[in-house]
Amino acid sequence: MTVTYVFDTGPLSVFARSQWLGVLKAVVQGSRAVIPDLVAAEVAGATVEHPHLHAVQEADWLEVITIDTTDQLAALVHYEHRLVGPSGRNLGECGVLALAESITGAVAVVDDRVARRAGLERNVEVRGSLGLICEAIHKGLLTVPLVSAVADDLLEHEYRLPFGPGGFAAWAEREALF
């Protein structure tokens, strides 16, 4: 069975901003990579302020899926009640979780801790972008030095990771990730 990765805006944005979007493409090669229409709308609405998001829009390996079935819409409403506050933020995460919930064998790629917890509560398989690239090391798709370079670039662009610059290998060893 082919895995379907359902990406949130956050991981795509930070990888694009750091010019490592190709790493995500390599990690999901041979699998299906999708974004819900809500994420596509977030990306489109932010390209003026964040020009690096054009790379996400132009990524031909990402398929946009409209959330429109009864089950998808019901799941979306559930996640909206759980995650969307007065600011209207987190709609993309809601769409990712609703879509992943509706696709057999899907993995939601979400870095927001609260959204990941909400997905797990409904048995959605969730993975953060760091977990995804660590998994790629196990599969032999990426090397520790490459992932270390990616992690350092992500940190330089103010991405929150559980270690500082140059700390990926030591952290992954402590966590027994390889």
How far apart are alpha carbons 3 and 5 in whole angstroms?
6
Q: How far is CA 74 from the centre of its chain?
A: 22
Rg (CA), the chain: 16
In the chain, the number of structural domains is 1
Does some domain include residue 51? yes
Alpha helices, DSSP H only, in 18-143?
Answer: 21-27, 37-46, 54-57, 70-83, 91-102, 113-121, 129-138
Q: What is the pLDDT of residue 178?
A: 67
Q: What is the pLDDT of residue 148?
A: 93
**62 and 5 Cβ atoms separated by less than 8 Å:** no
Residue reference for tokens 């990524």: 59
Q: What is the pLDDT of residue 139?
A: 85
Does some domain include residue 30? yes
Tens-digit pLDDT string for the chain (178 aa)? 689 999 999 999 988 988 889 999 999 988 999 999 999 999 999 999 999 999 999 999 999 999 999 999 999 999 999 998 777 788 999 999 999 999 999 999 999 999 999 999 999 999 998 888 888 888 888 889 999 998 998 888 878 888 999 999 999 888 877 6
How far CA 50 is from CA of 11, 41, 46, 54, 130, in Å, comes to 14, 14, 6, 8, 22
Q: What is the pLDDT of residue 159?
A: 83
Does some domain include residue 154? no
Give the dihedral sign, CA 171/27/11/151.
positive
What CATH number should be reported for the domain holding residue 52? Answer: 3.40.50.1010
* pTM exceeds 0.85: yes
Does some domain include residue 176? no
Does some domain include residue 136? no
Does some domain include residue 137? no
**125 and 97 Cβ atoms separated by less than 8 Å:** no
Structure tokens at 39: 């994420």
Does some domain include residue 125? yes
Does some domain include residue 97? yes
**Full residue range of the structural domain in which residue 86 is found:** 4-130
Continuous segment of H or E residues that includes residue 34: strand 32-36
Structure tokens at 156: 């330089």
How far apart are alpha carbons 129 and 144 in whole angstroms?
15
Q: What is the pLDDT of residue 50?
A: 92
